[in-house]
């Protein structure tokens, strides 16, 4: 795709997701798991990960909006809330990317209040350099540098989500 450089190929993603699936299965030893998919970015990752797991998985969905950029207030708004009960469930939040950590810090506290049996975070990507909140994911697909990435669910203005790989957007230099 024009203006995009491949950072992580489709093959690398598939291989890493298989490894994560195995690691999670080993950790949970056949217990039921509830995946909470954070819309919209995590849909591809959630589906691919779940398809590789032999245990029973329940799916829940949450959609939040966060405000980033220079005037970021760090305010997170719930757009689509949980439908099911997660009390006493083994919950894993499935996220596309951890950036500042604000979204997941908020969601972790929110979901803790619903009293799950356990609560972990699995993120496909992690941009550690950008963190402003103390937040660690329990499972991470790839650590990446501080670059704006798209594909495999990630977008820029709703574009590129359906790319089967992770690409870096090469923003055009403005002519002065
Ligand atoms: P955080 O609250 O700053 O950790 O932001 C997490 C959210 O910001 C992610 O769920 C993405 O929706 C978005 N985001 C952060 N970095 C990127 C990126 O490089 N590409 C696309 N979306 C991103
Ligand atoms: Mg997201």
Q: Which tens digits make up the pLDDT trace of 113-136?
A: 999 999 999 999 999 999 999 999
26 as an active site residue: the answer is no
59-83 confidence digits (pLDDT tens): 999 999 976 554 455 789 999 999 9
d(CA 127, CA 98): 6
- The answer, yes or no, to whether any atom of ligand 1 lies below 6 A from the CB of 41, is yes
Ligand 1 center to 12 CA (angstroms): 21
């Amino acid at each position: 795709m024009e203006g995009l450089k491949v950072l992580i190929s489709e093959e690398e993603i598939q291989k890493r997701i298989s490894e994560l699936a195995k690691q999670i299965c080993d950790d949970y030893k056949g217990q039921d798991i509830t995946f909470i998919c954070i819309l919209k970015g995590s849909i591809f990752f959630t589906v691919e990960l779940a398809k590789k797991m032999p245990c029973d998985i329940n799916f829940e969905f949450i959609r939040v909006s966060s405000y980033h950029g220079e005037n970021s207030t760090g305010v997170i708004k719930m757009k689509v809330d949980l439908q099911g009960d997660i009390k006493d469930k083994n919950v894993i939040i499935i996220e596309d990317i951890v950036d500042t950590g604000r979204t997941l810090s908020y969601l972790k506290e929110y979901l803790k209040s619903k009293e799950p049996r356990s609560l972990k975070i699995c993120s496909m990507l992690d941009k550690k350099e950008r963190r402003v909140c103390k937040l660690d994911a329990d499972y991470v697909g790839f650590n990446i540098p501080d670059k704006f990435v798209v594909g495999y669910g990630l977008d820029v203005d709703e574009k590129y989500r359906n790319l089967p790989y992770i690409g870096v957007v090469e923003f055009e230099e403005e002519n002065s």
